[in-house]
Chains A and B, each alone.
Chain A
Amino acid sequence: MTNYPISIRPFGVHAILVEWPKKIDEAILEDILQFSSYLKLECLNTKEWELVSAYNSLTLIQRKQRIDFEPFKKQLETWYRNREGAHHSDKYLWKLPVCYDLDFAIDIAEVAIELGESVEKIIELHTSHIYTVYGIGFLPGFMYLGGLPKSLMTSRRAEPRQKVAKGAVGLAGRQTGIYPQESPGGWNIIGNCSVPIFDANREEPCFVNVGDKIQFYAISRAEYKLHKIEGEVGIYQFEKIKLDA
């Protein structure tokens, strides 16, 4: 196990920010997640602490108490050195259905022109890659996905839309992702995912965790409609594959 040079800094009086080298790197993400699960399982009372990981950082947030920074920093450094052997939570590959029908994929024709490819090729490229969840934030259930191939890199829309539909699948720069609720947005919309990533009424409101993988697969309009009806009664059509640790 690599010991990364981590930096530990105060973030107000109720939070502490731990940072790894500034890189988008699966090995770093893995180290952050292992440390995070070690802290949750062995070190911190999770009723009092929240841990938010994203890309190269882990933020520890105390619910009410002020953190005594210097001693806590020393303690964290010790915990980091001792983290070896900690269990880490299971990771999954989620195969999520996306309808790339032109009714949803309102920008796919423009994207195809920008990239000099056919619409079919765009769909093939988008569904053939596996993306890593580097963070969840911005909106409930919004996943920051890494691993978009260069061949799908596009510019953002010049003018953001006031309303992007819930479930819209977008491309922008090196990112792809799903809008978990209706919101303003500047990404190019190439489809719509029929399964809600976040639903406050589910026992587990957001099934995806940071560190999981995502792959999209194309579905027809008819399948999309069926999934929506199934979703209303609590049946969700996606495939979940456990990844080896």
Chain B
Amino acid sequence: MNFSFHGGRVSGLLCVLPAREQSFLEDMKHFDFPESRSRKLMEVMGYDKHRLVESGACVSDLAVCGLQYLFDRGLLGRDDFDALILVTQSPDHFMPPTSNIIQGRLNLKQDLLCLDLNQGCAGFVIGLIEAFLLLQQESVRKVVLINADVLSRKTSPQDRNSYPLVGDAAAITVVERGQADVEIHASVKMDGTRNETLMIPAGGFRMPCTPETAALEDVGDHNLRAKDHLRMDGSAVFNFVQVEVPPLIESLLAEAGVAKDSVDYFLCHQPNRFMLQKLADKMKVPHAKIPMNVVEHFGNSSGVTIPVVTAFNLGARLTQEQFQVCFAGFGVGLTWSAMLMNLGPLPFCQMIQYPGGEQL
């Protein structure tokens, strides 16, 4: 389905990456697999390093670190936003909403709509849609969108289909009113019949965590995983992306009346380099227009990868220039989404480390 918005814009982007970095060569030690095949996996998928939180670190820790950084530097006023949207699949607790926890930890005002959204790899576009919808209210002048996940904590180190690519991160995107004559187009599709393609089977009410769900099982290819862990059907995800994403982007561009060539960058979710290369080929877009270097530097942090790919590749330029960008997120749900907008110049577009807030 299609959305269009008038008069909204992104006015700042901050990514928060864990300071802890782990290399694929370290990951390999946990795999029961010939080393030559692991090296092949590394080469084909583009694995190198990924950023993982220390055990115990939660989504609200990353988010509070980022917001405090912005408050301290005068990049965001603590009373200047009227809604706080958190998109995550790894909340601190089932209840209360983690957005309320963030509000409380920072002593934010009570006239603030706090909203948790359960979305994954498409969660940046979904969050932006929600933010633009809220901005249509008179009382909402500015929205803070937080995308954050610490899914490494739910990934088996002995599952080489998931662990080498996973990363943790948070991103804070400030969304506010802009010129009324500027239109933003978005398109979203969902298919719940394929909801098991990416899932954490245990830990909810359907299958509560027990000693049995914590037991590691050989799930083929000598990969060990428990029902408490994230499970990803890599082949099904690959087919899904190749089949569904290019037509979604084509139809969005047609709807907006924008030629593919006039899009400066396609800022896509970052599953791994392999899938993005194949996606670029399928879309017939030059690889230079689809940055695909996030997994090798930071890992795949679900809904945070679009902010990370943006800040990492275009951060400095976006503080000076404007680009026409197409965001595209795809994954859990299944959900696939794309949004076309003019991005920049932004007052800030940067990356910091957690803990400490040191600039990256």
Chains A and B form a bound pair: no
A residues whose Cβ falls under 8 Å from a Cβ of B: none
